[in-house]
Amino acid sequence: MNKFARTVTILMLILGLTASVVSAASQEEKRESIRSSAQETLDKLYTIHPGARQAVENAVGYAVFRITDVKVVFLGGGGGKGVAIHNTTKEETFMRTGDVQVGFGLGIKKFDVVLGFQTQEAYMDFINDRWVVGGQATVAATDSVSGGALEGAVSAGKDTWMYQLTDKGLEASLTIRGIRYFKDKDLN
């Protein structure tokens, strides 16, 4: 191998290593952003509903998501990012969510969801690509000035409960919603 070829090979290796380090830093920044968002959501939930702290701490695991939904007349959808945490092992699973809605409504809604899992089975089902499908009737009108609205904890499935906090947005809808929670392949 001549000197030029060796130099090019070494430069390509250095470039490849640099790109992987930059990508890793970027992934860690994304993870940290999700962790920070999740902690903000939990802090807000504990302020609004202090009993939620004990529910989260006593659960097998919990998940926190920040989601944005858009609804235009009969169709809507949205998505978000979050993290699921096993309370015993402290293992984090970074996740995404997407949903499709059919029904009457109009609006944009940004909201945070905290899910709690009472059993190991419920937690594992969730982080391993669980679908949640159900009906939803929502009337929520809030603004960022006067505070958020908290719909109280509700059952979200077998051995699973959910708190939903809305910060900003205006929505009046009656929808059938299909929500999918799945692992974020880029962040795990």
Per-residue burial over 8-28, b if 16 or more Cβ lie within 10 Å, else e, is: eeeeeeeeeeeeeeeeeeeee
pLDDT at 33: 95
* Average confidence score pLDDT of the chain: 75
* Mean predicted confidence (pLDDT) in 111-118: 90
pTM beyond 0.75: the answer is no
Residue 136 parent element (H or E): strand 131-142
Q: Could you state, in order of their start, the residue ranges of all structural domains in the chain?
A: 44-183
Strands 92-117 and 61-86, how do they pair?
A: antiparallel
pLDDT tens digits, 116-150: 999 999 999 999 976 554 444 444 444 444 343 33
Residue 105 parent element (H or E): strand 92-117
